[in-house]
Amino acid sequence: MSGRASESGFQIKPVYGPGDLPEGLPERLGAPGSYPFARGVYPTMYTSRPWTMRQYAGFGTAAESNARYRQLLAAGTMGLSVAFDLPTQMGYDSDEAIASGEVGKVGVAIDSIEDMRTLFDGIPLDKVSTSMTINAPGSVLLLLYQLVAEENGVAGDQLSGTIQNDILKEYIARGTYIFPPKPSLRLVADTFAYCHAEIPRWNTISISGYHMAEAGASPTQEIAFTLANGVEYVRAAIAAGLDVDDFAPRLSFFFVARTTLLEEVAKFRAARRIWARLMREEFGATNPKSWMLRFHTQTAGVQLTAQQPEVNLVRVAVQGLGAVLGGTQSLHTNSFDEAIALPTEKAARLALRTQQVLAYETDLTATVDPFAGSYVMEAMTAEIETAAVALMARVADHGSSVGAIEAGFQKREIESSAYRISQEIDSGERVVVGVNRFTVETEEPYEPLRVDPAIEAQQCARLARLRAGRDNAAVAAALVALRTAAEGTDNVLRPMKDALRARATVGEVCHALRQVWGLYQPADSF
């Protein structure tokens, strides 16, 4: 009998048995909530409470996004996840020429503290956990969030949530970087230190494999390159003088869940085991919380289809099931219409209902790690772990993750995987329902959500009023202090917060840092 190949290239056997179990299985497994955490990071996992249901949302203006957040909270979501528009992600204001045509399109436009106030108006920041998908200017948006919380009487130690803040994967797979790697890593380390002192419950980074997977990375590549980036962040923080157990418990990760359910579950279990071993043995962490790989999962946007979009409801349900069986701490389920446009309110609600069915109508929450001991699951977990460790060693051969990035290693490996997937779809070897098999002659019309282009003019007008009504001399002085800190070794987040409090804009703060640190130019752009 011959099996089919997994996404990572392993042969999946038609039948597994005792001979396929890896040696030393009890030690490899451990107990739930115990080293090496293959069975989950908490002893009770979902038997005490389900995962956090966190829906990714944000579009147009802060007022429109605020209305969507209120709808999601009323529908039962447990945490917010903010999508920012491209200018905000790149550290530009809405009235800059480079932002033209992109304001509010793929997320919400946030230019200043005034926008952040509107975005979270009426939302109890001491009770809601907020995730913000923002990287190069992640510290800037976090400080705006903290300032708004303080205005509402919520202290930093009451805030909980996550900023993505994962700049290394931007150089590999996504492209929303600003500064070169060295100052970018310094900014990450400064954020770790600042949050340890000021916002201790905040997850200071979400080290992401999701975007690499969306670019075509296999499951093995996804966790290998993500964990290698995690190692780089830990080294940067330690080099900046931080103790590993002071920041490692607040590290978090972000992975994809594909439709290949068995391999995805194995991937999550292997990633936890690798990270636990690295933190305990390589970095000498002694706090068990430093060994835990806690992660958020999003279902695979790249696998959604514009053809027969309702079929995406089934895909998302399968992907969400894989994330839950794999032991995720929080989950975003994509809306079925995301391959067409921004999700409608109905589609976003259906995506949330998918999670609620998994949590409350199935028996998934009745027991911890139901696949533990499965012949196929333990064999696949061991295969992925071995291959991921070998691939991490190839990254290390370049001296570091940054060295590999500068050599283009990860990018080439992912592009090769993406090309293979594309060829398989084109040839029909990889079936995509509704695309290369089981197609229909005509599609039912679908009316997508559209962003009003007038939003850009509205944001520009808001910025003009902001600049006319603030103390511009105070803003200028605060930006000088920020540049001075960036030129030296002081933590840049403290003068950055002062500038934002004085109503400096996101673009002005990022431009101040650009003047000192410069812009990153990838090697293949020369």
On whether residue 374 sits in a domain, the answer given is: yes
**pLDDT tens string 62-119:** 999 999 999 999 999 888 999 999 999 999 999 999 999 999 999 999 999 999 999 9
Residues 120 and 260 in one domain: yes
| Phi, psi at 53, each rounded to 5° | -90, 110
**pLDDT tens string 485-511:** 999 999 999 999 999 999 999 999 999
Instruction: List alpha helices for 199-310, DSSP H.
Output: 210-214, 219-239, 244-247, 261-277, 288-291
On whether residue 7 sits in a domain, the answer given is: no
Round to whole Å and give the CA distance between 318 and 334.
Answer: 12
Q: Which of 230, 228, 236, 355 is nearest to 295 (CA)?
A: 230
The CB-side HSE value for 485 (13 A sphere, CA atoms) comes to: 22
Residues 374 and 510 in one domain: no
Round to whole Å and give the CA distance between 379 and 397.
Answer: 28
**pLDDT tens string 228-250:** 999 999 999 999 999 999 999 99
Residues 415 and 483 in one domain: no
Q: Which of 347, 293, 349, 355 is nearest to 322 (CA)?
A: 355
**What's the predicted TM-score (pTM) here?**
0.94
Residues 205 and 96 in one domain: yes
Residues 180 and 39 in one domain: yes
Residues 126 and 258 in one domain: yes
On whether residue 47 sits in a domain, the answer given is: yes
N- to C-terminal Cα separation, the chain: 51
Residues 372 and 513 in one domain: no
Q: Which of 425, 445, 462 is the last residue of a domain?
A: 425
On whether residue 18 sits in a domain, the answer given is: no
**pLDDT tens string 128-175:** 999 999 999 999 999 999 999 999 999 999 999 999 999 999 999 999
Domain membership of residue 353 as a residue range: 35-425
| Counted domains in the chain | 2
Residues 199 and 121 in one domain: yes
Q: Which of 425, 457, 489 is the last residue of a domain?
A: 425
**pLDDT tens string 336-360:** 999 998 888 899 999 999 999 999 9
On whether residue 451 sits in a domain, the answer given is: no
Map residue 375 onto helix, strand or coil: helix
Residues 248 and 185 in one domain: yes
On whether residue 435 sits in a domain, the answer given is: no
Q: Which of 201, 129, 213 is nearest to 169 (CA)?
A: 213
Judged against a pLDDT cut of 90, whether residue 55 lies above it is answered with no
The 10 Å CB-count burial string (b at 16+, else e) for 40-58 is bbbeebbeeebbbbbbbbb
What CATH number did the domain enclosing 62 receive? 3.20.20.240
On whether residue 431 sits in a domain, the answer given is: no
Kindly state the tokens that stand for 38. 């293959």
Look up residue 283 and give its amino acid.
F
